[in-house]
Amino acid sequence: MSKKNVVVLFGGQSSEHEVSCMSAQTIIKHIDTEKYHVTMVGITKQGKWVLVNTVEKIADDSWREDADEVVLSANAEKKELIVLTGDFYNSIKVDVVFPVLHGLYGEDGTVQGLLELAQIPYVGCNVLSSAVSMDKLYTKIIADDLGVRQAKYVGIIRSELKDMEKVVAKAEQELTYPMFVKPSCAGSSCGVSKAENRSELEKALLLAAEHDRKVLIEEAVVGREIECAVLGGEDVEASGVGEILPASENEFYDYDAKYNSADSKTVVDPEMPEEVVEQIREYAVKIFKAVDGFGLSRVDFFVEKDTNQVVFNEINTLPGFTVISMYPMLWEARGVDKKQLVGRLIELAYTR
């Protein structure tokens, strides 16, 4: 039986480009090459798609150099990549796509829409679930109907910042300091700030607005940062939970704490009351289903200090697969190694 061709898409135009490149290496190394042939396609920050010959080129960051341009055909009868080499082109058959893309133009439903047009099976959430989960403001609107507690919030549009005084007054009327300010559609904590006062709030709003036209201002929840992984299609499983322990110099788990600080730690199966763990697992599945999730997601929560109340934070439909990422670690703790996990995700792509 001939091998199916898995196209691994990575890179992308978002602020999480580098994280995507790290995640892709992990996934590529754990695809079962006895069952699948792997074709690697990198997307530059400028949006150019190129064919990548070896995973080593991703590791040394040379994959963009002298690479053949690639186009994914939207022709549903073809299901192919078109590779341009000088004045010539050839095609590569595509059986399934693993879009290892974090953030805008990849995790937000855009690539998923292209794959739907081409009628190519792909790993992960569909157009709707990717789009609403990427947009933190709309995720909150959906979660409001679930009876799951979440941080109080104020949503604003970038154009409103022309009257900064009015925006700040609105936030101060609804929330108290400290506040967290986030781009509505960004991940890996890019553009996220903690504001202790009005001056810091103004700076945080301007920073977040550099990443997205919609900005979310949230109350600060004092407590533990907890994550739960979900996996499945019609039948959805939740993993155990993991805890984020930012380095002491980081007030919260920002981009630098995630990827640049050796002191930041992730703990799988932290000590926690069993009923709290089970509530997190139940909520993770409930939220995943509410956004019409499929395949995989990581759902993030806070467990409030003193009360142990579970507070929903956000859902990530294509969580990181780097060496320090929580999603694969949580499944490994449940006896599902990376090769099994990647294989299961690819097989799920065919059952959508």
The mean pLDDT of 199-205, rounded to a whole number, is 97
Mean pLDDT over 256-278 rounds to 78
Residue 246 is predicted with a pLDDT of: 79
Given CATH 3.30.470.20, say whether it is the number of domain 133-147+222-349.
yes
Distances (CA, A) of 333 to 187, 237, 265, 267, 271: 25, 14, 16, 11, 15
Sheet holding 96-100, edge to edge: 88-93, 80-85, 69-72, 49-52, 36-43, 4-11, 96-100
Mean pLDDT of the chain: 93
pLDDT in tens, 141-176: 999 889 899 999 999 999 999 999 999 999 999 999
CATH architecture of 153-219: 2-Layer Sandwich (3.30)
Give the rounded distance of the alpha carbon of 143 from its chain centre: 18
Q: How confident is the model at residue 190 (pLDDT cuts 50, 70, 90)?
A: confident
Banded model confidence at residue 261, pLDDT cuts 50, 70, 90: very low
**What residue spans define the domains of the chain?**
4-122, 133-147+222-349, 153-219
On whether the 4-122 domain is CATH 3.40.50.20, my answer is: yes
Q: Check residue 1 and give its pLDDT.
A: 66
Q: Is the pLDDT of residue 206 over 90?
A: yes
Tell me which H or E stretch contains 327.
helix 326-332
- 145 burial (CB, 10 Å; 0-12 / 13-18 / 19+) is exposed
Contact 298, 133 (CB under 8 A): no
Q: Is pLDDT of 262 > 70?
A: no
Q: How confident is the model at residue 260 (pLDDT cuts 50, 70, 90)?
A: very low
pLDDT above 90: percentage of residues in the chain: 85
Is 259's pLDDT higher than 50? no
- In this prediction, residues 247-272 reach a mean pLDDT of 65
